[in-house]
Amino acid sequence: DAGVIQSPRHEVTEMGQEVTLRCKPISGHDYLFWYRQTMMRGLELLIYFNNNVPIDDSGMPEDRFSAKMPNASFSTLKIQPSEPRDSAVYFCASSLDASYNEQFFGPGTRLTVL
């Protein structure tokens, strides 16, 4: 398996633009997690899915953030409109379950909002 795949690896955009981050989890993993990492706040869980259904989105910072998982092999995290404070590295991770088994992280998307 190729592991968790994220695209793009780097994204530079201007304030106000829509940003879409993509993730392909490991096949057979029922759980998918979106995280954000910044120097100031560390690693934050934004939202996670179980069998394509959002379970907890309490970590999503604002209504500008939305996430979908239309099928077991694809998820998106969208920011609309983007703001400079959204600049961070966004990670997608997948796992067989929420916590007993380890999570496998993708390489991340480094987002810069100018």
Partner 1 sequence: AQSVAQPEDQVNVAEGNPLTVKCTYSVSGNPYLFWYVQYPNRGLQFLLKYITGDNLVKGSYGFEAEFNKSQTSFHLKKPSALVSDSALYFCAVRDIGNTPLVFGKGTRLSVIA
By the criterion CB under 8 A, which residues form the site for partner 1? 4, 33, 42-43, 45, 48, 56, 91, 93, 97-100, 102-108
The residue (of 74 and 104) whose beta carbon lies closer to partner 1 is 104
Q: How far is the CB of 37 from partner 1 (least distance, A)?
A: 9
The residue (of 68 and 110) whose beta carbon lies closer to partner 1 is 110
Q: How far is the CB of 17 from partner 1 (least distance, A)?
A: 24
The residue (of 12 and 43) whose beta carbon lies closer to partner 1 is 43
Which two tokens mark 63? 């209504």
Q: Spell out where the chain has E strands.
A: 5-7, 10-13, 19-24, 31-38, 42-50, 53-56, 65-71, 74-79, 88-95, 104-105, 109-113
Q: How far is the CB of 54 from partner 1 (least distance, A)?
A: 13
Q: How far is the CB of 18 from partner 1 (least distance, A)?
A: 24
- For residue 58, the one-letter residue type is S
Dihedrals φ, ψ of 55, to 5°?
Answer: -100, -45
Q: Spell out where 8-64 has E strands.
A: 10-13, 19-24, 31-38, 42-50, 53-56
The residue (of 55 and 114) whose beta carbon lies closer to partner 1 is 55
